[in-house]
Each structure stands twice: as structure tokens, then as C-alpha cells.
Structure 1
Amino acid sequence: MNRFDAADKIRGEARYIGDMFFEEFFYAKTLRSTMARAKILSIEYPELPEGYYIVDKNDIPNKNRVKIVTYDMPFFAEDTVNYIGEPIALVVGKEKNIIEELLAKVKVNYEILDPIYTIEEASCKLPIYGKDNLYADYHYKKGDIQQAYKEAYKVFTKEYETGYQEHIYLEPQGVAASYKDGKVTIYGSMQCPYYVKDAVVEALGFEGNRVQIIQTTTGGAFGGKEEYPSLTGGHVAFATIKCNKPVVLIFDRDEDIECTTKRHPSKIKVTMLVDKYNKIIGIDNDIRLDGGAYCGLTNIVLQRAMFTATGVYNIPNVSVRGRAIATNTVPGGGFRGFGAPQGFFALEMHMEYIAKELGLTSLEFKKINLAKTGDLTSTGGVYRGYVPTKELIDRIEEMSQYSKKYKEYKSSDTLKGIGMSLFFHGGGFTGSGERDHIKAVVKLRKYKDDSVEILISNVEMGQGTQTTLRKIVAMELKVPINKIILVNPDTDRVPNSGPTVASRTIMIVGKLLQKAAIKLKECWISGEEQQITENYKFPDGFYWDDSKFEGDAYNEYSWGANVVEVLVNPLTFEVKVLGVYAVFDIGVPIDEKIIRGQIDGGMLQGLGHGSIEKLEINNGRLIQRTNTDYVIPTALDFPKIESATIRNPYENGPFGAKSAGELTFIGAPVAYALAIENALGIDICKIPVTPEYLMEVMNNE
């Protein structure tokens, strides 16, 4: 065994972007803004040694805008910079140390402009863009909220706040590119190969067949590699064309933390209208998300947050305003839950607050207002499938003894507390997104040896896609799973089945593959090559008006209940978690072990967001910008999670499966906060709930 074989044995078979080798390749590193908002007056570059290059906006053949949802983010800064860390140029060459030396000698001359750092400042300073500091200002309604105000017995209003969160995926952002015979090939750690392709094609002005995207084995993403690789993919494409060498751009961890997208901070004011029978007759929400310096996916994240307004409850009158705010801070982006964690935190904390004011337990108040099958959603759609909230509550009560402990801890001096959250997540793209924008296509290719290859653009990023989708096809064809092939997507080989986001991969793409497998089974000829193509067809009977946010925002929902039990130290206000319990309805699990991994990972990540993952900005720059400063939980920080699933098959999912990946995150942060609130008898209005925050609240009390 040579040393390379030994290294492969140690690493396992997976080869990440950092493991790949390109002949005569160059490294790239990014020159970034050190100012939150400023005009670039000039840039003074040092004399470059032979074989070293500067790549900037002048090297973009067609369009210096990243194709995401909007086109506001440049690949490289033009006349101004709008956040600390914004890319200005690349330095490219053979030796990393020389690149670092050259970067250190670059001088950017700025004229500093007045920056906007917070949601509050955005309303009282000159706008960054256009006539205001808003990327979006949406509103939707259901019923008659004004009449509900007139009929309300009591009105309850409170504002809630959530902070930034960093993804901390195992593998940082990384891409590489080569240029040969007029064609660019980009390799990278990514979620959405066709997003990258579309962005690079447009920036270069190339025909589609001149850009190829290959997903390399991806060490985690959580939404952080949804839209961001479109930016870096463009960077290496411009560089490889200019240098005529393969170019590798891999972030170090500190750079990744400081400069890449984050979960959107939120401020959500909830006004709830209750009648004399403790029924909620109306809700009036004002939601504000901090989008950072560029819009990116912020508008879509905002919509998700808005559509959680009524949660798992039946509320007939609804008014929701949502605004996405522009600030001179690191941009917000995709992150597991995609706006739902922010919305459910505000809603579930408010339910607890109202219950206390009414002299009820929160569970008593929730049970009075639970939605059921046939009720209308917040946007006036219909819950068509079985709504299992009562079953979820009964099951988690049995597991956690929630009501018994809630009562005991209220009369105890031990500072123990327990909290329960109820929540859902809509599977797939919102409204008509799957029908009108994604239009997924999948293929199955059978070879002469009767093996079958799955051809899709959806990626494996640690969530089990390659195993689960192979199982779906194998089960339908009734062949061994080792006869089913699924490798990382290459846009030259696979159709566009849509991005690996929105908890859509198993429910939507898996169902398409099942349908394709049924067709292949019906025409199967052993020993011959065959190919089946299946196109997405939007289910009948659903209605959505995107201009009004009216109708069925989602075709189906997955549901969950979480309970967290804590003990608070009366001196330090450190919190020890005594128990974590979860019950989920994800339809029918395709692979129980993978779902267990999703539950453990999602809930741990959610508990981190609710507790210790503090990420703050000072004068536009992140304070916690290293792995040392930004702390994430480990398996030792929380007890073993006791979890279960209930079976609630979905007819439009493969073998009854529904979405799971994002659902497992959503309820944990708020259950954690509710448990602490229960222990201390105080109102908690923001996460993360740190000891410092608790001391502040207790002192104010």
C-alpha cells in the first residue's frame, strides 16, 4: 500500500473538494472589504510576480450580478462595498504563501459612508437601496381582522426576537474550476448544481452547454450551500478563464464564519385576540427580518416566516405584515427551517404568555385552539390531510410526563422547568413554486446488466439522500439495492430535478422516482438498455394566488411536538437540560436509522440556536468570528433525545413519506426557552437564552 492508498483508507472513500487534484492548478484567495459601507475610490495593487493574477469585476464578460431570486448581489464589488467581507477581487497563483503576501500589500482607498447595522436604524437613516431600506414589504389577510378587534374579549401584544446563527457545516465552502476547449467545468461543495450553472452561464454570457457543474462529496450544508456557491462558482469560472489554469478556492474556517450567509435575525410583534371562551379569534403579526447587505433568498425566507402565523391553531381572522430589512451586515441566506423557526418561536412563546394571563396552563389553552382536518390555514388554504396534533400530544405526554411535571415544577423551589412546542413544516416550494418554477425532471437509466442508475440533480450532503432514494427505486422495482446506482450529480448527465432544499427531496423527487420505477417495471426487458423520464405534475385541487398570498401555501405538512426539561442554576443561571423528547409525523419513514439521525442532528442544532449559539455584530463586524468564539453544542451538552414517529401516510409521497429534514429543527429552540420560562417564572422574549440574558431579565423583574 502506498501513502496515497493509506490516506484514502484513513479518509474513507469520500473525496471532498480539498482532496481533489488538478494538474498545474492555481490557488485563489479573496480580497475582501474591511468597511461596512464605503465608496471604493481606488485600489493599489502590488507588482505581481510572473504567473500571479488579479481577478475582479473587469474580468466578468457579461453580467456582474449573481442570479439568485433578485440580482442585487455583485460577484465582485463595483463602486461601493456594503458589508465587511464583501468580495472585491481574487488573487490567484501557484503558491499560497505568495498569495497571502500579495493580499497583505493591497491597499483599498475608501470614502466611508453612513452604515446601517440594525433593523431599528434602517427606519431612520438614508436608504442603502432605492427609496427605502426594504427588500420586501408583504401583507396578507384572512377573514376580517378589524371585526375581530371589535369582538375580542382580550387583546395580547408582545414582541419577540431571534438572533443570527452560523451553519458550522463540517466542510467549509469550496469550489474549483477548469477551462478547456471553450468550456468551463466547476466542481464544488454545494446543494444546487443548477443554481450554480444558471448563475455562471448568465455571468459569462455562454451557451448552457459550455458550463458544466459537478457536485463533489459535500460535508454538510444546512442551507448554507444553497445560493452561496453561485457566487464562488462565478469567481473560479472567471479566474480559470483568465489564467487558463485550473483554479481552487477553498475558504479557511474563520473566513467561512465571517463572510458567508447566516440565519436571518428577526423581530416579530404578535397581537392575539381572544374571546371570553378562550378561543383565539384573530392574530395580527408584524414580522421584520434583517436581510443584511444583499437580498439573496431573504424574500422567500420572509414568506415562510409569515405563513407560520397561525401555527397548529385554528384562527379565523388573520393579518400579517412582513418586511425584509436591508442593513450593512453579512447577508442572510438559506438555513434549515427557512424562516419557520423564527415564526414558531414568536407564536409558541406568545401562546404561553397568554395562557399565564388567562390563568390556564399553556397546553390547556393550546388544546382549545388546535386546528383539525378541513380547517383553513393562515393563508386560507385547506388542511386536507389528517392533522395529528392530538395524537402527537398524547404520545409526547406519555413519553415525557409533561403535564405532571409542569404542575410539580410550578409548586417547587428547585428551578426545574418543562416546555412543550407544537409546530409543522410545509414540504416543497411555496405555493406554485414546484409547478411554475422548479418543474422537476428525473430519469432512470437501465443498463444491460440490469443495474439501474438514478439521474437527478439532488445532492447527498449528509442527510441520507443516496441511501433513501436508492431504497425507493429498489423497493418499487423489487431488486436488490446494490443494483441501484446514484452518484454525485453532473449537469452534463442529469436533468434538473430542482434544488436540494425546502424538505422536498424525498417527498417530491422520491415520488417522481417511484413513478418512473413503476413505468420501468411495466416495460422491463432484461439485458437491454432502457431509459425512463418522469416530469413533475402538480396535484389537482390546489389553489394559490402569489400576488395575494392566498390559498394553499403547501400541498402537505409534516407535524411535530417537542418537550424540553431543564434545571436552572440560581447563582450563575447556567441551564442544565434534563430531558429532550420528540414526536414527529413525517408520513412513513423510508429509512428509520436515517430519520433518527435527522431527529438527533436537527434537534441538537435547534437546541444550540436556542441556548449557546450567540452571534453578535459590532460596528458591522461579527464578534464571534472563529470556532473558538462561536460555540456549538456537542452530544455531551444535552441528554439522549427520546424520539418517536407516528405513521400518517401521504398519498403524493413515495410509499407515504413526507418531509423531515427541516421539521426536526423548528420546535427545539422554543421548547428550550419555554422550559426556562417555566422554571424561573419570567417572560422570555428572545433567543439564544444565555445566562447573561437571564441575569438581565431577572434584574429587570
Structure 2
Amino acid sequence: MDTVNTRFKWQEATGEAKYIADRHYEGLLEGRFYRSSCPRGVIKSVEIPELPEGYHIFGAKDVPGQNVLPIVEIDWPAFADNEVRFVGQVIFLVVGSDPDVLEQLLGQIHVDYEPLTPAYTIAESKALVDGAIHADDNILDHHSLEKGDIEAGFAKAVTIIEDTCSTGYQEHIYLETQGCVGYPKDGKIVIEGSMQCPWYVHHCMAVVLGHDHVRAIQCPTGGGFGGKEDYPDVLAGPLAVAVERLQKPIRIVLERSEDIMFTSKRHPVEFHYKTGIDADGNIVAMDVKFDVNSGAYLSLSGIVLQRSITTATNVYDIPNVRVEGHAWTTNTVPTGAFRGFGSPQNCYCMENHMTHVAKQLGEEPAAFKMRHFLKSDSKSLTGADIFGDLVLDQMMEKILSMSDYNTKTALYAFQPGSDEHCAGSGKRRGIGFSAFQHGCGFAGDLEDTLVKARVGLNKLADGTVQILASNTDIGQGLTLTFRKIVADTLNRPLDTIQLAVPDTGVVPDSGPTVASRSILIVGYLLEKAAQKLQLNWKEGEPQELEEVYRKPDYHVWDQTTYQGNAYQATSYGMNVVEVEVDMATGETEILGAWGVFDIGRAIDPVVFRGQIDGGMVQALGYGSCEKMEMTRDGVFAQKTMADYVIPTSLDVPTIDSDYVDNPYPFGPNGAKGGGELTHNGGAAAFAAAVEAAIGKTMSSIPVTPERICQKLYGEEPEQTVRKVKAPRAGGNA
């Protein structure tokens, strides 16, 4: 059995690792996609050039099974057939030995479209010009929930504040672009490549080919961040069709510009808040409505929507809440998974709104937020008791001390330049705070009713133990932490524990590497399996055992009413960011960043520090400079790494971080999930710091120098928060 080198990341560190583009396959052919140039239209006719010997074109008519990518719902075709919904949609796969010839053939294919008016934004989707793209209303999914009595809550309010906050696209910019190779072996169609979820790819091949004689293998993967959850299916479906027909190895590796233009992105969202405050300055009611730009097909938007709905009030105990969310179809690249899976958008908007409410009431934002924190005896937004101890107050004390937040807040209030005359007045400093959470594992009871994760342990006669699990290491360190969990439980040397390559021909389906579930769910199964092996250890004999997930008894969920424990466990975090803003140019310099986290207990503190640093840098990029705009032609204006700006080593501040030890009883060694959590709050803290520095509200990210100057010099309306007196009891709130 192939196993990962037990020296943690040794091959990657030394350059020995063989990524998909590095691998040799005898007789390898190359594959290139012919993509739609029309954002929305009906395919009227197709002209195919005469193909040289050894070159092939595959399309919808060549699919032996179902022409679909089974990503949650069956709505995204493997090959476009009758219609196209976005620029870049796959229509054909062209295969041959010479990439230059493939490019020539792609240029000779002609598709004639009957174009329809595209919708790129949520507002355009709602307008239904030229009819609906999907169903009769363009709504791919929607949910709502209520807590308490929203009307009674607003009746207690003396002030109502309305606010709109929004976020844009974010590109993954993983080091390695999307890529995979397919080949026939032992009567099966095998695809190996850069992927997060081998069993997803396995299932996709089975559906497209109409049989289960398939196998998916993860290669060393140069980053994913969610971008290699759903999108490898887009490559694997067409590739499997071609490999089965030709019975030869075929490779598809995207160029960077192709990857940026056509792969999934983080969902843009628009949140509208209506918040009621009582005479004591406490929030008594909140009405939240939000819209998600899903792109052309559902993909993972329904699950992102569910996470946003169930965590809409973040870490705050609001007694009366109504939340309603819609996922809208547009003629853009389907949006999908990205680290945090809806939480960074939700956390930014909610934190931004809470900051604005505090300022409208004349209160310091961090103190106002702390007063509204959930407590251990609170009810969650979905009506469940809080499981375990909340340590938000301890975390708050720690991060305020680490960052010297209160002293700096008071100091910066007396900088030269008033709010009315701050433009062009040199440089000003600001400091911002955010609190946030992340539910670990799949939402609701899906871990129990749908995923049903399984793991295995194989003990060899020499005492070596092999871990069988389908979860992948995409940079977060599972090749070490899984082994440490088993080694610590068995009290065995780390080098006697091996981790099988995630290969669906070898490992059971442990569920996907998403949703901060690998440690919480799968790591706990490995710990339980190792405990059983330890109790029944037979020296000198091979042994095998399997462990299957069963949710804890306290975890109860009603999918119909959205009531109960929205997640098995929740991790928490807090960030503080300090900035200096050049009031003439709008340029920002991050002077410092701080983070405090509750992830239960870290399996490996060094590995988690790496997650903190990486997650916070990615979040700061999301909040400050990662701008991605859709043009009127239905393509992204940013197409290369020269256009899409991410933080470099020169932009990264000193990051001071810590965590509070708060063991969770149903996690391995007390651990909860942490990989996504670290991305959730950085953008909000950065935006709050900029607001504090310039004295203007910023209600959308990224907060670029251009947007700061627009605020300072009056090109963008300043008043985005509306404060009104509440009507008298009995009136309409």
C-alpha cells in the first residue's frame, strides 16, 4: 500500500513531491476545453473542423451515463448541450498529443448562439429580463428562521437602525492550478489529481459513465482553500468520458489565467439589517435579509446559504431575530466553497453592522459587542442550549491586553484632523476589533444522516499501524495531526504510524475535506478506533478494525424548522487589527494584527499557529486588496496574478496569536476545528480599523485605497446607516 512519507511534508519541503503536472504516464495525451464565449444563450448550431489522426472531440452526445455533475443537486451539465449560462462553460473536450495543435483546433470550432440578456448581479437576476435563467424566479434556494417574537421585540425598541453591508468575489490563488490525469487500469477508469474530496470525484465519474468501475486518487495538492472541493468534478466528468472511449491516459491542467477566469469563487453577498434598540441601549430585535450570488448553477450555494442563515447573528445573544436568505441564479461562474464557507461574509457584515450600531449610539464598538456576547446559559439562534463552556470573556480579556486595544482607542481619538476635515491631513491611525465563530462539521444532522463517515486502522504484524481515511492534506497538516492522534492514543512512536494515500480503491469514505470536520469528526473516529485497538492489541499479529460516525446524544436538529444544534460544535475567535492610513492617497499600512481562538485543544500547536498566520493573512487580503470585478462582457476584469492583488511577504504584519484551552469532550484530545475559523474575522477587524482612522463608514469590502479616497473626497455617499425613531407600540415596526 502506498503511504505518505512519515517525515512531515519532507517531500514537499525538498521539492521531491510529484504534483500532477510532474508525473509521467506512458502515451499521455493532453486535453483542452472548448468553452462558451456567450454568457447566456441557446446553442443553435456547431461547426467542428476535420480532425487530424489521433485527435478527438468529446461533447454531450458522447456521455454514456448522465450528462451532469452531481454537486448536491443535478443541475450543472458536464458538457453544455442546449444552452449556456456563463462565459467559460465547458462545451467540448479536445484531446490529442500536441498542445499547439489542440489550440489550433479550438480556434476552428464555431458555435452559433441565440443570445439572451444576461444577469450578472443579484439586482439583474431579480429583474428577470428575457425570463428566468432558473425555474420561474431565478431563486436556486431559500431559507428562513425566527427566534423569539420579532414583532414584540421591535415594539420594545426606542431606536431602529437600518444598515446594508456587502462583500465581493474572492479568488483562491492556490499555488497549484486545477489539474488531473485519467487512465484505464485493471478494468477501472482512474483519475488522480489535485483535489480535496476523492470520493466526490469517484461519485462524479460513476454518474457520468453510468457504472462504478472507477477510482479517484489524490496527488500531493498545492493548496485548495475550498476551490478543489467542487471544481475537480468539472474536470473529472468530461475527462472520464474521454478516457473510457480512448482507453489512454489523458491530462488536463489549467493555465493560471484559465484557472482564475473560470473556476469557482467566494460568493458575493448583500446583507440588510434592521435592528431595534431599547432605552438601555441593548439590541432587542434584529431583522436580517440577505442575498447570495450563486452564479449559473447551485453547486454548493444551498449549503453556504444554510450556514449563513444558522449563524447570522454571529456570537451575539439577540432575543428576537428573523433571518431570511435567498440564493440567486446569475450568468457568472458558479460560486462555490472557499475557506469559511459563507462565514467570512456573514462575520464581516454582522461585525460591520454592530460597529455601526455602536457608533450611532455613541458607544465604543468593542465594549458594545462584548455586552451582547452569548453566555453559557444563552440559547443559540436556532434555539439550542450552548453545549459546554463559552470562554468569550476570557478571550476578550486576553486580546485586549495583547493588542493594548483600549489605550490605543483612546489615544487615536485625539489625532490631528477632525472627521470633517481629515482628508489630506497626513496619516491617521485606527484600531478595530472583531469577534466571530465557526460551526464545525456539516450543518444540521448531515454528518449523521448523509455523510456517515468511516475510518479504518490496519495493524501489520510488525506493529506498524496504517490509517485509512479519505481526508486529504491540502496544506493544513493532516498527514501529521492524524498520525499524532493515533500515536498518542496507542502510546506508540510516531514513525510507526502511517497514513494511506487518499485513494477510493483503498480507503473508506470518511466524508470530504471541508467544513472544519477533519479533526472534529474524522480525528475523533480515529481516536476511538485507536482506543479499541489498544484494548485488543495482539502482538505479532495483523489486525483490522473500522469505526463509523455516530452523533453525540445532545446533538438534535430539525431540518424542517431549522431548530436545534446547527453544528455539533462551534469554535470561536477574536481579531484586532491596527492600521495607519495615508489621508492623501488612501493607502493603508497594517501595523499589527492579533488573534485569540477557542478550538478546544490544539492537536499540534505549531501546526495551528500556521493556520492562524495563513488564515489571517488571507482574511486581511480579502478585506483590503483582493478586488475581483465582473465586466459587462460576463468575464472577470482580473485575469492574472498581476491583476488580482494578494498580500505579499512585504504586506504581512507581525501576527501575535494565542488560544484559550477549552477541551471539547467529543473531539480527539479535546480538539474542535480551526482551519476555517482563522479566516473569518480579519476582514472585519481591518475594515473597523480603517473606519476608526478616517472617521467614515465602510460598508463593503475590499477596502481599497480607491474606495477610501472616494469616501474622503465625497465621490461615494457617506450615509449608509439609517437611524430612525421607533414607532409607538402598536404601530408597524
The TM-score by the shorter chain falls in which range? Answer: over 0.9
The alignment status of 1:151 with 2:165, answered yes or no, reads no
Q: What CA deviation, in whole Å up to 9, does each residue of 1:350-401 have, x standing for no partner? A: 1111111111101221122111112111111221121111111100111101
User: What is residue 724 of structure 2 aligned with on the other side?
Assistant: none
| Counterpart among 577, 581, 584 of residue 564 in structure 1 | 577
Q: What CA deviation, in whole Å up to 9, does each residue of 1:501-532 have, x standing for no partner? A: 00000111111000000000111111110001
User: What is residue 431 of structure 2 aligned with on the other side?
Assistant: 418
Q: Secondary structure at the match of 1:618?
A: coil
Q: Secondary structure at the match of 1:371?
A: coil
Q: Secondary structure at the match of 2:70?
A: coil
| Counterpart among 22, 41, 46 of residue 38 in structure 1 | 41
Q: 2:142–2:305: 8 Å Cα contact kept in structure 1? A: no
State the aligned residue count.
Answer: 692
Q: CA deviation at 1:180?
A: 4.0
| Counterpart among 528, 540, 561 of residue 527 in structure 1 | 540
Q: 2:29–2:250: 8 Å Cα contact kept in structure 1? A: yes
Superposition pairs for residues 382-531 of structure 1, below 5 Å? 382-413=385-416, 414-531=427-544
Please give the alpha-carbon distance, in whole angstroms, between the structure 2 residues aligned to 1:139 and 1:284: 11
Q: What CA deviation, in whole Å up to 9, does each residue of 1:176-214 have, x standing for no partner? A: 1112454211101111111111111111110x3x11111
User: What is residue 379 of structure 2 aligned with on the other side?
Assistant: 376
Please give the alpha-carbon distance, in whole angstroms, between the structure 1 residues aligned to 2:126 and 2:27: 52
User: What is residue 4 of structure 1 aligned with on the other side?
Assistant: none
Q: What CA deviation, in whole Å up to 9, does each residue of 1:413-445 have, x standing for no partner? A: 251000000011111111101100110010000
Q: Secondary structure at the match of 1:397?
A: helix
Q: CA deviation at 1:9?
A: 10
Residue identity matched to 2:534 = K
Please give the alpha-carbon distance, in whole angstroms, between the structure 1 residues aligned to 2:235 and 2:526: 31
Fraction of identical pairs, as percent: 45
Q: 1:562–1:582: 8 Å Cα contact kept in structure 2? A: yes
Q: Unaligned stretches of 5+ in structure 2?
A: 1-10, 417-426, 719-733
Q: 1:385–1:556: 8 Å Cα contact kept in structure 2? A: no
User: What is residue 5 of structure 1 aligned with on the other side?
Assistant: none
Q: Give the TM-score, by structure 1 length.
A: 0.97
Q: 2:165–2:699: 8 Å Cα contact kept in structure 1? A: yes
Q: CA deviation at 1:43?
A: 1.5
**Greater alpha carbon shift after TM alignment, 238-247 vs 286-295:** 238-247
Residue identity matched to 2:488 = M
Q: Secondary structure at the match of 1:72?
A: strand
User: What is residue 3 of structure 1 aligned with on the other side?
Assistant: none
Q: CA deviation at 1:108?
A: 1.4
Residue identity matched to 1:279 = N
**Greater alpha carbon shift after TM alignment, 8-17 vs 119-128:** 8-17
Q: CA deviation at 1:174?
A: 0.5
Q: Secondary structure at the match of 1:328?
A: coil
User: What is residue 192 of structure 1 aligned with on the other side?
Assistant: 197
Please give the alpha-carbon distance, in whole angstroms, between the structure 1 residues aligned to 2:292 and 2:255: 28
User: What is residue 651 of structure 1 aligned with on the other side?
Assistant: 665
The alignment status of 1:52 with 2:65, answered yes or no, reads no
Residue identity matched to 1:202 = V
Q: Secondary structure at the match of 2:222?
A: coil
The alignment status of 1:623 with 2:637, answered yes or no, reads yes
Please give the alpha-carbon distance, in whole angstroms, between the structure 1 residues aligned to 2:96 and 2:363: 67
User: What is residue 134 of structure 1 aligned with on the other side?
Assistant: 139
Residue identity matched to 2:341 = F
Q: Secondary structure at the match of 1:129?
A: coil
Q: CA deviation at 1:10?
A: 9.3
Q: Secondary structure at the match of 1:41?
A: strand
Q: CA deviation at 1:404?
A: 1.1
Q: CA deviation at 1:668?
A: 0.1
Residue identity matched to 2:649 = A
User: What is residue 201 of structure 1 aligned with on the other side?
Assistant: 206
Q: CA deviation at 1:306?
A: 1.6
User: What is residue 243 of structure 1 aligned with on the other side?
Assistant: 246
Please give the alpha-carbon distance, in whole angstroms, between the structure 2 residues aligned to 1:425 and 1:10: 31
User: What is residue 235 of structure 2 aligned with on the other side?
Assistant: 232
Q: 1:122–1:326: 8 Å Cα contact kept in structure 2? A: yes
Q: What CA deviation, in whole Å up to 9, does each residue of 1:264-304 have, x standing for no partner? A: 00000011111111221121100101000111000111111
User: What is residue 70 of structure 1 aligned with on the other side?
Assistant: 73
Q: 1:268–1:346: 8 Å Cα contact kept in structure 2? A: yes
CA RMSD, Structure 1 to Structure 2 (Å)? 1.2
| Counterpart among 533, 545, 562 of residue 549 in structure 1 | 562
User: What is residue 24 of structure 1 aligned with on the other side?
Assistant: 27
| Counterpart among 673, 684, 695 of residue 670 in structure 1 | 684
Please give the alpha-carbon distance, in whole angstroms, between the structure 1 residues aligned to 2:372 and 2:151: 20
Q: CA deviation at 1:346?
A: 1.1
User: What is residue 295 of structure 1 aligned with on the other side?
Assistant: 298
Q: Secondary structure at the match of 1:485?
A: strand
Q: CA deviation at 1:148?
A: 0.8
Please give the alpha-carbon distance, in whole angstroms, between the structure 1 residues aligned to 2:342 and 2:91: 30
Superposition pairs for residues 625-640 of structure 1, below 5 Å? 625-640=639-654
Superposition pairs for residues 80-95 of structure 1, below 5 Å? 80-95=83-98
Please give the alpha-carbon distance, in whole angstroms, between the structure 2 residues aligned to 1:694 and 1:409: 18
| Counterpart among 171, 176, 199 of residue 176 in structure 2 | 171
Q: 2:167–2:345: 8 Å Cα contact kept in structure 1? A: yes
Please give the alpha-carbon distance, in whole angstroms, between the structure 1 residues aligned to 2:415 and 2:175: 42
User: What is residue 582 of structure 1 aligned with on the other side?
Assistant: 595
Q: CA deviation at 1:11?
A: 5.6
Q: CA deviation at 1:694?
A: 1.3
Residue identity matched to 2:158 = Y
Q: 1:683 to 1:656 in 2, by over 3 A?
A: same
